[in-house]
Each structure stands twice: as C-alpha cells, then as structure tokens.
Amino acid sequence: MDQIPPSQGVRFVTFNINGFRTLFHYHPWTKLRTLGAMFSSMQADIITLQELKVAPMDVDNRLGKVPGYNCFITVPLQKKGYSGVGVYVRCPLEDDPPPVKLALTVVRAEEGITGSLLSKDTKQRYSELPASIGGYVNLDDDIASRIDSEGRCLILEMANNTVIISVYCPANSMGTEEGEQFRVQFIECLFQRVRNLVSMGKNVVLMGDINISKDLIDSAVAIRDMTQAGLVRIAAKHEDFEEVNRDACLKFTSSTVPRLLLNELLMDSMSSGTFPDQSNGVLIDTVRRVQGRKKGLYTVWNTLTNSRPGNFGSRIDYILVNEKLAMQTKNAGIWPFLMGSDHCPVFTDFNVETVDSEFIGLEGLKLPRLEARFAFNLSRGDIGKFFTKKETPSPSSTHSSQILTKSKVVKPANMSKSKGINRNRSNIMSFFKPVSHDSDLCSVVSAVPESNGEISSKKVLENGKFKLSGDIPKCKHNEECVLKTAMTSENKGRKFWTCCKPRGEVKDPDDESKFDCGFFQWK
C-alpha cells in the first residue's frame, strides 16, 4: 500500500462514542483527558462523533471549543441526552499546502438532512438560502420535521467542492412498526440527498454510524444463526466464505429494506447488477476498497455479553465516498483496540488533489454560525471551569479559526511544523507500546483482526504499519492465557492476560494444576 505524502495527506475518522460523559473513563483516554489530545493522538484532520448524548445546555468548552479545530454540533431539542452528532475540522496551518487548506476550509454548514431547519446565520430554511449546499429532497413538512428532530446529521461543504455528511442513522432497536417506518424514511431521504449531490458534481463523504450491516461477513450473529440452521458452510479459509456461500451472501444483501437501500447506494456492493435497481450505485466503501473481503472487520460489539475480546460483532460504521474520492484513498481500516465505547473508530486517509475552486485566493471566509462557539454561545467561556478540576491542556492550546490560502495562520501552541497528517508529537500507539521516533506515522494502516477472527492490541508501528508484537503468553502452567478487561476506575477498558484456570484453594500439590497460578500481564 502506497504511503501518503505528508504534504498532501488528510485523515478522516468516525467514532460512535456512546456518550461524551463516559468516553474519558476508558484507557487510553483516561490519560489524554481532552478531545483535542484525543484527535491529535489519532492524527485526525476531520473527525465525526456520534451519540454525544448531551442536552443543548450541556454543550460546553470541552465539547464545543476544541483548540485547533472548528467544531460543529447538533443535539436533539426534544429527547434530552439522546443521539447527537459532532464534526471537528482541523484549522488549516500556514505551511499546509493549498489542496490541504481547501480540504479543511468549511464554507457552508447545515443541521439535518432535509434542509427544513433554520440557518443560524439568516434564520431561513437551509433549502431556501441563495448559497445553499443543495441536493434537497421534496418531502412533506411533517416528515421533514420528524427526520431532522433528533440531532442525527450534520452536513458540511468544504472549499474543495467536497460535501461531508456526518450521520447517526436510527436502528429501531425496539423493533416497532413505527420505528421501522421512521428508519426507512430517514435512510431513503439520506441516500437520495447523497445521489442528488453526486449528480450535481459534488464530491461526497458519507461517514458515521449507518446502523446497517451491509454484507453477511459484516454480522457475526447472522453467520452463527445461518450456520446453525444449515444455510451456510464455514470455509477452510476466511476469504473463501463468500465464494463457498455465494447464494446465501447475495440473498442477505436484500434481506431487509434498509440493507437493500444501502447496497443499492454502493457501486462496489457484491450484489451490484444481480438484483433489479442494483446497478446504479454512487458511493464506494473505503474500508472494503483497501482491506478487501475479509471477515471480522467489525466496528461494534455487545458489551452485555463481553463479545469484543472474541471479536463477535458487526460492522455498521462506514466512510463511504464517490468514485473520484475513492481513487484518492490511500489507507482505510478500523482500530478495534481503541476503547471508550461499544464501537471502535474507523479511518480513511486521502491524498487530496489540487482542484479548481471559487475560494482560492480569498482572504478569508466567515465561519458558518453553526460553528459551536456561535451556536451554543461559547465565546464568553465556560462557567463549568470554576467548578471542575483543571485538566491537562491539549497539544494545541490556542484556537485558530479557519484561514484561507492568502491569510496568515497562527499555529496552535505545541504543534509541530511538519505538514499534513504527520504533524503531532504523539501517536495513540504510544499508550500501548513504545514506538520509534523516526517511524513514518503519516502512513498508519488499520490494525485488523487476523484470519482467526481474534483482536490484538499488542501492536507496534513498523515501516508505518501496525503489526502484531508477540504471541499469546503462557502462564506458570505452560498453557495459553486468556484475555480479560479491567473494570477498575484507573484502568477501565485496559486488557490483560491471566491464567485460564479458575480460582480455588490449593490443599495439596495436585491442586496446583487445577487452579489459577496467579499469572498477570498487561496487554
């Protein structure tokens, strides 16, 4: 896999954090403590977060005023502490090349999908603005209001003709008829807006929690159930699973309406052209483009059954792009070793190109008023700082608003002078394993499960790539250890190896082989 030139690289990351309040209870975020430090450790340029789970009055400086980033947040007005989406865009630096500056410059921003909500700038509907993003879908006002009522979507247009759609799609977890109707309406509207934008000539990035496993290999539960029912066979090699069970895998892609709609949207769906209306896709799955048809690339796991250590999960978080952007994809994958949620982050690295833009050469543009400092009145400071414990400052301590090509940019404090993705002092892997200071951090690829489906966080950077750094340790019984998760407040979420034997009282020498030998080792 080619490495991204540091001068041209832009990294996109999406992460369903399942609640902002609990994120920093998990390793390694217990040590980083701020979103700014978290983003810098991921070396992320554009980050989308889902399930913030905060009310409007709870959006404070920690969430909406991240040094070195422009922040956009939407939260539901009715359901308090529910849903919520954030988009964070790194402020362009003076020594960023022009293509990167354009890629990081926000020129328009909207809440919702339908364009029916009111702009923070003019108090008009987004769809009625003279300089709107466009691509709106004709809907009944009541349906449009319902779709945009839960703080599930933010849409940003960048100066390089790219539209970023950050979304948290409904799942209908209660299984109600009303919930499924809303889910299908939401997805149909979202996907039609995507199609409209692509047809307008826009580059489109659809990223976030789509809440759909599009293929059978994306759902461990479905594979288990269909195997037990005798509908599929386990292949000798994981990569042969779809070939051995092709008919069942194709049938799965249209087994529900949301799944059918997602596969229709994709140019690279395995069912493209197989079923009616499945040959007009407009987006490409970046992770599949880079990682191929591997099993086990799951992004969410059931915490109640502790299914993450055994990698029994599903893939519902995506970064999907149009064909032109897909050609610029250099790396993409998942980071299952990063805790903080029942989900894990998904990333894609792009080598951005020079484009013709109406914004080249301008001295600067005003940020859309949807930026969190304006939308939530954060400019005057956060009263919470008088009552909370002082936190360690993030790697960048000065918030610099976006500046275009000719304007001078003040660099955030403590940020290195290198360009593109490889610009920060620390990398997230330093919290798991020491890394060489001369590693090429700008070309990090995903740490994906091996063919046996197991996840390992014992990874180091070597030649710019993650690799396994050792086998499963053996305990004093000379048997392979089991992997467990720490639940203490100090180390919550950290993994450790321990003896596979149960605990028990050793009354005679024979008992020593039956019970826990006391072996312990952090992973």
pTM (two decimals): 0.76
| Domain CATH for 302 | 3.60.10.10
* pLDDT value, residue 432: 52
Residues 206 and 219 in one domain: no
Residues 234 and 175 in one domain: no
User: Which residues participate in the annotated binding site?
Assistant: 16, 51, 209, 211, 342-343
* pLDDT value, residue 345: 96
Tokens at 238, concatenated: 């994981």
What mean pLDDT comes out for the span 265-285?
78
Identify whether 261 is part of a domain: yes
User: Which residues participate in the annotated binding site for Mg(2+)?
Assistant: 16, 51, 209, 211, 342-343
CB-count burial class (<10 Å; 0-12, 13-18, 19+) for 108: buried
> What percentage of the chain reaches a pLDDT higher than 70?
74
Residues 228 and 332 in one domain: no
Identify whether 474 is part of a domain: no
Identify whether 475 is part of a domain: no
Of 423, 439, 468, which residue constitutes the final position of a domain? Answer: 468
Residues 131 and 179 in one domain: yes
Residues 70 and 168 in one domain: yes
Residues 193 and 307 in one domain: yes
* pLDDT value, residue 78: 77
Residues 408 and 515 in one domain: no
Residues 439 and 505 in one domain: no
Residues 242 and 374 in one domain: no
Q: Is the pLDDT at 302 greater than 70, yes or no?
A: yes
Residues 170 and 297 in one domain: yes
Q: Is the pLDDT at 149 greater than 50, yes or no?
A: yes
Residues forming the active site: 168, 209, 343
State the average pLDDT for the chain.
Answer: 79
**Chain CA centroid to CA 151, Å:** 17
Of 231, 260, 281, which residue constitutes the final position of a domain? Answer: 281
Contact between residue 42 and residue 35 where contact means Cβ atoms under 8 Å apart? no
237-251, 311-325, 346-360, 449-463, range with the lowest pLDDT: 449-463
Tokens at 393, concatenated: 């400052």
What mean pLDDT comes out for the span 425-441?
43
* pLDDT value, residue 418: 36
Among 5-19, 102-116, 494-508, name the most confident range: 102-116
Identify whether 476 is part of a domain: no
Q: Is the pLDDT at 334 greater than 90, yes or no?
A: yes
Nearest partner of 464 among 490, 491, 445, judged by Cα: 445
Of 281, 301, 327, which residue constitutes the final position of a domain? Answer: 281
Count how many domains the chain has: 3
Residues 143 and 67 in one domain: yes
The domain of 223 spans 213-281
466-485 pLDDT per residue, tens: 333 346 888 888 888 888 87
Helix (H, G, I), strand (E, B) or coil at 348: strand
Hey, which bits of 241-392 come out as E strands? 283-285, 300-301, 313-314, 317-322, 329-334, 346-351
Residues 126 and 186 in one domain: yes
